[in-house]
């Protein structure tokens, strides 16, 4: 019996989906615990590519159980589409292998409407959200006016909570944001059939996890977003509205902290960020563009081009501490092939000082300049390599230096998007 957590260590899109799909071979249950369909997790198996937004990335292993925990904000229209799309592609998705927490909060049409209207109103100062209604849904949860899956199952409760909530929202829409109001009856009409579709999947996720643990099963927790998008520890206010750090597994799924054995931090071999906010090692030159093209760095959710830059050890050291990382999984090492010189940021220069962790003050972070060390690159293709010792010397040196700077061992190295393009010396479940 083992509980392993997978989290992103940067600003998201590190390759969590690929690693979760890979580790599902050793797991029995895979659980999402925060975020919503702002996530886009890509799995590549041979010629097939799947992008998952809400369903855990273990779903291709249809004998395993996937659970969506209470900490996730769920747009049921998206969940239904995702289930149907997988079924159409021959993946058996049913209440036997997928469960949705009765306590999960619902993203409703007015949350998306609010997200988009606010971003439009902010103009240049916008956060660059995914426009999926994530922030407004979490706001309602904390304000205790949210609507949970279990509330939807009772049509009277749903209608009443919806109407009450919309009194305030519609006032804001019409009088402040100057956008059309939302008609509660239209939402009720859409959600009737959706409720019946989703009803068989609804379960108590905390109990399902406890049962699995009592049967000595392995549980894999799949983080979404990344540590530096964390609402508490990230580059606030340019963050998401949940806690992507490993600690949030406990409240987002209903499992106690003493049950967790290891935490795998996914590290892209360089850095990307999508949306606004500070990014000290961003490359706005041709190297940044080359990384974007070679790495296919376009958002899996919104299609937006991702900003690219060098690896940042300040970001990673913070992540090691904030998540209690026990191992790293380095992805997209192949994308660096062909770079003559590769840089790693080891600290930030600010006012004649060198900072070694992220400053909380936004203005300070914006004024920070990265302190780089430069490493030799390699030119030979590495996609076919399966042993660390067989990687080009320069790639090995880069990985050794990364381990030294972050002080966490590397257990997995990914050299291509496909499931099989992986060096896997250290199984976190063992």
C-beta of 14: minimal distance to ligand GDP in Å? 5
Spell out, one character per residue from 288 to 307, where the chain touches Mg ion: x when CB under 5 A holds, - when not. ------------x-------
Q: Which residues pair with 297 in a beta bridge?
A: none
Task: Pick the closer one to ligand GDP by CB: 263 or 368.
Answer: 263
Given the residues 13, 21, 75, 140, select the one marked as catalytic: 13
Among residues 1, 26, 44, 139, the one that binds ligand GDP under rule CB under 6 A: 44
Residue 331 interaction partner, one of Mg ion, ligand IMO, ligand GDP, none, beta carbon < 5-8 Å per kind? ligand GDP
Q: Which residue is nearest to ligand IMO (CB)?
A: 275
Using CB under 6 A as the binding rule, whether residue 82 contacts ligand GDP is answered as: no
Task: Pick the closer one to ligand GDP by CB: 21 or 115.
Answer: 21
Using CB under 6 A as the binding rule, whether residue 17 contacts ligand GDP is answered as: yes
Task: Pick the closer one to ligand GDP by CB: 395 or 415.
Answer: 415
Measured over the CA atoms of residue 170, residue 175, residue 177 and residue 179, the dihedral's sign is positive
Among residues 130, 417, 423, 428, the one that binds ligand GDP under rule CB under 6 A: 417
SS3 per-residue string spanning the chain: CEEEEEEECCCCCCCHHHHHHHHHHHCCEEEECCCCCCCCEEEEECCEEEEECCCCCCCCCCCCEEEECCCCEECHHHHHHHHHHHHHCCCCCCCCCEEEECCCEECCHHHHHHHHHHHHHHHHHCCCCCCCCHHHHHHHHHCCCCCEHHHHCCHHHHHHHHHHHHHHHHHHHHHHHCCCCCCHHHHHHHHHHHHHHHHHHEECHHHHHHHHHHCCCEEEEECCCCHHHCCCCCCCCCCCCCCCCCCHHHHHHCCCHHHCCEEEEEEECCEEECCCCCCCCECCCHHHHHHHHHHCCECCCCCCECEEECEEHHHHHHHHHHHCCCEEEEECHHHHCCCCEEEEEEEEEECCEEECCCCCCHHHHHHCEEEEEEEECCCCCCCCCCCHHHCCHHHHHHHHHHHHHHCCCEEEEECCCECCCEECCCCCCC
Q: Which stretch binds ligand GDP (CB under 6 A): 11-19, 30-38, 144-152, 155-163?
A: 11-19
Using CB under 6 A as the binding rule, whether residue 35 contacts ligand GDP is answered as: no
Among this protein's residues, is 13 annotated catalytic? yes
Using CB under 5 A as the binding rule, whether residue 223 contacts Mg ion is answered as: no
Task: Pick the closer one to Mg ion by CB: 74 or 266.
Answer: 266
Q: How far apart are CA 194 and CA 200, in angstroms?
A: 11
Given the residues 28, 41, 53, 228, select the one marked as catalytic: 41
Spell out, one character per residue from 293 to 322, where the chain touches ligand GDP: x when CB under 6 A holds, - when not. ---x---x----------------------
Task: Pick the closer one to ligand GDP by CB: 253 or 414.
Answer: 414
How many Cα atoms are found within 13 Å in the side-chain-facing hemisphere of 261? 12
Using CB under 5 A as the binding rule, whether residue 40 contacts Mg ion is answered as: yes
Spell out, one character per residue from 257 to 296, where the chain touches ligand GDP: x when CB under 6 A holds, - when not. ---------------------------------------x
Task: Pick the closer one to ligand GDP by CB: 325 or 415.
Answer: 415
Residue 336 interaction partner, one of Mg ion, ligand IMO, ligand GDP, none, beta carbon < 5-8 Å per kind? none
Listed residue (7, 56, 8, 11) closest to 297, CA to CA: 11
Among this protein's residues, is 41 annotated catalytic? yes
Residues of this chain that bind ligand IMO (CB under 6 A): 8, 11-13, 38-41, 127-130, 132, 134-135, 224-226, 229, 240-241, 274-275, 300
Active site residues per annotation: 13, 41
User: Which residues of the chain form contacts with ligand GDP (CB under 6 A)?
Assistant: 8, 12-18, 40-42, 44, 296, 300, 331-332, 334-335, 414-417
User: Which residues of the chain form contacts with Mg ion (CB under 5 A)?
Assistant: 13, 40, 300
């Amino acid at each position: 019996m083992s509980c392993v957590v997978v989290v992103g260590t940067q600003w998201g899109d590190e390759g969590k989906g690929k690693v979760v799909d890979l580790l599902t071979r050793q797991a029995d249950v895979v659980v999402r615990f925060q975020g919503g369909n702002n996530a886009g997790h890509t799995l590549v198996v041979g010629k097939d590519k799947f992008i998952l937004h809400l369903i855990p990335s273990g779903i291709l292993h249809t004998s395993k159980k996937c659970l969506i925990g209470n900490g996730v904000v769920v747009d049921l229209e998206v969940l239904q589409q995702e289930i149907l799309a997988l079924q159409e592609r021959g993946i058996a998705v049913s209440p036997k292998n997928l469960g949705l927490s009765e306590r999960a909060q619902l993203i409703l049409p007015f949350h998306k409407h609010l997200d988009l209207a606010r971003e439009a109103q902010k103009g240049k100062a916008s956060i660059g959200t995914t426009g999926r209604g994530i922030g407004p849904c979490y706001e309602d949860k904390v304000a205790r006016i949210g609507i949970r899956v279990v509330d939807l199952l009772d049509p009277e409760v749903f209608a009443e909570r919806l109407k009450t909530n919309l009194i305030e929202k519609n006032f804001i829409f019409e009088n402040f944001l100057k956008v059309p109001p939302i008609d509660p009856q239209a939402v009720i009409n859409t959600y009737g059939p959706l409720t019946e579709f989703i009803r068989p999947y609804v379960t108590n996720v905390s109990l399902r996890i406890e049962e699995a643990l009592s049967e000595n099963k392995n549980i894999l927790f799949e983080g979404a977003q990344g540590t530096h998008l964390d609402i508490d520890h990230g580059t606030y206010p340019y963050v998401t509205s949940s806690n992507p750090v490993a600690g949030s597994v406990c409240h987002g799924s209903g499992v106690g902290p003493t049950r967790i054995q290891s935490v795998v931090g996914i590290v892209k071999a360089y850095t990307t960020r999508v949306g606004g906010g500070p990014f000290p090692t961003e490359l706005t030159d041709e190297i940044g563009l080359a990384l974007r093209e070679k790495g296919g760095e376009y958002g899996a959710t919104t299609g937006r081009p991702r900003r690219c830059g060098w690896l940042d050890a300040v970001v990673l050291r913070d992540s090691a501490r904030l998540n209690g990382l026990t191992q790293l999984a380095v992805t997209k090492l192949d994308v660096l092939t062909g770079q003559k010189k590769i840089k790693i940021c080891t600290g930030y220069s600010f006012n004649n000082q060198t900072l070694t962790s992220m400053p909380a003050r936004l203005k300070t972070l914006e004024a920070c300049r990265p302190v780089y060390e430069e490493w030799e690159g390699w030119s030979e293709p590495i996609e076919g390599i399966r042993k660390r010792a067989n990687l080009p010397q320069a790639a090995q040196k880069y990985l050794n230096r990364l381990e030294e700077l972050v002080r966490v061992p590397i257990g997995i190295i990914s050299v291509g998007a496909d499931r099989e393009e992986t060096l896997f010396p250290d199984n976190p479940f063992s």
